[in-house]
Structures are given as C-alpha cells and as structure tokens.
Amino acid sequence: MKEAWFSALGEPLGEHERSEIAAYLAGLGMDAAMPVREALSWKEADELCRMQSDDWWRAEEEERARLERGARLDPADPEWLALNDELHGAAAVAAARAGCADAALIRVAAGAASHAAYQARLARAAGAASGHPFLRKYGLYCGGRWPLGIYDQSFAIF
Amino acid sequence: MSAYPSIKTVEEFRQQPEEYQTAVRKIVRSHALNELYGAQVFDEPAIGLAPTPYAKWLTCRVAMEEYHHHVRFRELADQIGVRAEEMDARNKRPLNIFEVPLESWEQFCVIKMLGDLAEILQVEDLLHCSFVPLRNIARTTMPEEKFHAQFGLDFCVDLVETEQGRARVQKAVNGFYPEVPKFFGASGSRNNQLYRQFGIKLRSNEEMRADYMARARSTVEPLGITLPA
C-alpha cells in the first residue's frame, strides 16, 4: 500500500492518532498525558522546530543507541535511498500545495521523515515489538503527519 | 579546450584508449570515495551536534544526499571496471580534508560553506566532461552541492550575528581552510594534464585552486570573517 506521506498536515487529529501519540510518549518514558499542540501551517511548523527540544531528542537517541547495539543498517542501500527521494518528493508536493516554496524547510521535513524511517527500520531489524515507539512515530508519518517534537511541555505535530 | 569526442555510453568507453579509461576511473573513484568519507566523517556526526530539530533534520537530509552522490558515482565505477578493492574505503587513505576531526556545529557549518564550495568547483569541471555518463552525474549532483554550500553559508550568517558566534566561526575557518587548497591536487600534475587532453576536465589544478581561494574569500568577507594566510 502506498503511504500518505505529508498528506494530512494541518488536518485535525483523530482519536487513534492521539492514542498513538500517547503510546509513543509512554514508550519513550515521557509523560503520555502531556498536551498535544496541532501546528496548522508550514510557517508554524518551521517556527516550532527551530526551538530546542533536547530532552525529547536525547530520549530518542538513547533508544536508537540501544537498538544499534543489536542491528546496523547500510545508509547507502539503494532501496533506502529511493525511499528518501520519495519522501523528499512528497514533502515538496505537500509544501507546494500549501504555497510554501522554502527549499530548506522542505528538506527539513524530508529529513525528519528519513530520520523516522531509519529509526523504524532499525527497530524492525533489532526485532522490536510492533508497539515500539519508533514504529508508532513512523506510523504517524505513514499516515501523512509530521511529528515535530516536544516544545514548552507540549508534543507538537503538523 | 580539448577536441576529444563525446563518449556517450559505457560500451563506447570500453573502446577508448587504456589511458583514457584509466583517467576516467581515477576521477570516478575519487568522487565516489570523497562523497562517502564526507557523509561518514562530517554529515552523520553533525546530526548530533546540531542545536535544534530543524538543523538536525536538515543535516539528516544533507547526509542522505551525500550518500546518494556516493552511490551514483559507485554505480558508474562498477560499470566502468573499477575494482571492488579500490572502492573500499578501508584500502584507500582519505584526502587530508577528511582527517580534520569534527568537534562543533560551527565547524560543520564552515565545512559545508567552504568544503562543499571546493566540491562545487570539482563538479563544475566535469559539467562538460567528454564521458557523458560522468557529465550527467555531475549535472545531477550539482544543484544539491550548491544547496549544501548555501546551507553552510546560511547557518554561518546566523552564527556571526553575535560576537561569540563570529569568534567560533573564525576559529573553525582558521582550523579548516588551510587544508582545502591541497584538495585540488599538485601543481603541474601529469594526471591533470591528461584529464584536460582527454576533455574530462577543463582546468588545471592551479587555476582551480586560485579560483577556489578567490571564491572562498568573497564568501566569508561579507560575514566579517577572514581567511588565514
């Protein structure tokens, strides 16, 4: 099935997505009940992710480091590179539809999705269970969202 | 400019003199390895040094683009008969600029601004290469190389807004820049003479180095940064 990369940006969150976010946060050892901030535009997403989000990033990196002790992926794998091109194309199309022509921000979105895709592939390669937080976060990307991180004690998502 | 004819396919390439084939193989191998080293030594580690998710994700994307450049050159290397052991990064000492240890975000931004400018010059010289498959890879990668150098410049512009930031950028330039002119190879190089004779490259190492140094100067001076002598 073709994924819906970046196609639900700015749309209201559904209950299933909210519960996935809560489970993702809990899986990372973070507050599952923290407020969720829904970004409504590329500009708002841009402003949010230019803020620091060190605790969130550190929590993910600790989990990535743990998984990498049991599995390694080849960053030059052609299939993986093809996926990255697909993500960049999808980000560019979504941005263009919203009137955003910021080449750097489009690459930021594509890079975020690549990072999540890498984490999910790593989790699978390491034999993680289907409820692993990286798989939940990647599922949000597959459904057309861009999870932005934790800023001012809120989890932001576009 | 050389009048060497355009070699449109790998099949035509195999019919060229051995000297031509060897020259093309050297250049393709060099680009493939440089792209790989750059991604491994600078881009991937820089993700952890970047200060915000914006900068981290942009660096992720840049790293993927560099790996993709490596794969494009490597695939061509395979097609034109570069031996696998010659493509193994473990068997080939990296160029001097890849031995600079990456320690800070400012340093990475300077490496993108000045290091990728050097790569732009190298790729520019292949845009009219007589071997068309190599010319096409150069033309495909060029827009991304330009973006990477601009990425470095844009972040450096932000960093030099404070005196502290300017001092850190200047320190990074002082540490990195002296290594870059060597990236263009020896003066009076026999290899470079052959590259030009075969229409693979356009300019001598000396010309490219002088052009690089002038362009590097005009890049950093508006930031209030000077190049070390």
Task: Give the ipTM.
Answer: 0.96
B1 pLDDT higher than 70:
no
Name the residue with higher pLDDT: B179 or A100. Answer: A100
Residue B183: which pLDDT band, with cuts at 50, 70 and 90?
A: confident
The pLDDT assigned to B184 comes to: 92
List, for residues A85-137, the tens digit of each pLDDT value. 999 999 999 999 999 999 999 999 999 999 999 999 999 999 999 999 999 99
Q: How confident is the model over B108-151, as pLDDT tens digits?
A: 999 999 999 999 999 999 999 999 999 999 999 999 999 999 99
Each residue's pLDDT tens digit, A47-60 = 999 999 999 999 99
Per-residue pLDDT, A11:
97
Q: Which residues contact B207 (CB under 8 A, 6 or more apart)?
A: none
pLDDT tier at B207, thresholds 50, 70, 90: very high
Has residue A78 got a pLDDT over 90? no
* CB nearest to A76's CB, from B53, B58, B70: B70
Give the percent of chain B with pLDDT over 90.
87
Q: How much is the pTM?
A: 0.94
Q: In this model, does residue A1 exceed pLDDT 60?
A: no
Q: String of b and e for A35-59 (b: at least 16 CB within 10 Å)?
A: eebebeebebbbebbebebeebbeb
Is the predicted pLDDT of residue B91 greater than 80, yes or no? no
Q: Give all domains of chain B, ordered by start, each with its CATH number.
A: 10-222 (1.20.1260.10)
pLDDT value of residue A74: 87
Where residue B223 falls (left for φ over 0; alpha for ψ -120 to 50; beta otherwise) is alpha
Burial status of residue A69 (CB atoms within 10 A of its CB: 0-12, 13-18, 19 or more): exposed
Q: Write the secondary structure of chain A as one string of H (helix), E (strand) and C (coil).
A: CCCCCCCCCCCCCCHHHHHHHHHHHHHCCCCCCCCEEECCCHHHHHHHHCCCCHHHHHHHHHHHHHHHCCCCCCCCCHHHHHHHHHHHHHHHHHHHHCCCCCHHHHHHHHHHHHHHHHHHHHHHHCCCCCCCHHHHHHHHHHCCCCEEEEECCEEEEC
- Taking contacts as CB-CB distances below 8 angstroms, the residues of chain A near B36 are 76
Check whether B227 has a pLDDT greater than 70.
yes
The per-residue pLDDT for range B23-48, each reduced to its tens digit, is: 999 999 999 999 999 999 999 999 99
Yes or no, beta carbons of A81 and B53 under 8 Å apart: no
**Distance between A130 CA and the closest CA of chain B, angstroms:** 25
Residue A83's pLDDT band, with cuts at 50, 70 and 90, is very high
Residues of chain B positioned with their CB less than 8 A from the CB of A81: 64, 67-68, 71
Euclidean distance between CA atoms A37 and B88, whole angstroms: 47
Reported confidence tier of residue B99, pLDDT bands at 50, 70, 90: confident
pLDDT given for residue B165 in this prediction: 97
Chain B residues touching residue A46 (CB < 8 angstroms): 54
Whether residue B52 and residue A52 make contact (CB cut-off 8 A), yes or no, is: yes
**Confidence class of residue A77 from pLDDT cuts 50, 70 and 90?**
confident
**pLDDT at position B92:** 74
Mean of the pLDDT values across residues A17-45?
A: 97
- What pLDDT sits at residue B2? 61
Confidence of residue A2 (pLDDT cuts 50, 70, 90): confident
- Higher pLDDT residue, B36 or B53? B53
Quick one: pLDDT at residue B84?
85
Domain ranges of chain A: 15-147
- Answer whether B205's CB lies under 8 Å from B187's CB: yes
pLDDT at B95 exceeding the cut of 80: no
Partner residue facing A49 (CB), from B52, B74, B154: B52
B56 has a pLDDT exceeding 80: yes
Residues B225 and B113: beta-carbon distance below 8 Å: no
If pLDDT is split at 50, 70 and 90, which confidence band does B107 have?
very high
Contact B53 A109 (CB under 8 A): no
For chain B, list the strands marked E by DSSP.
none
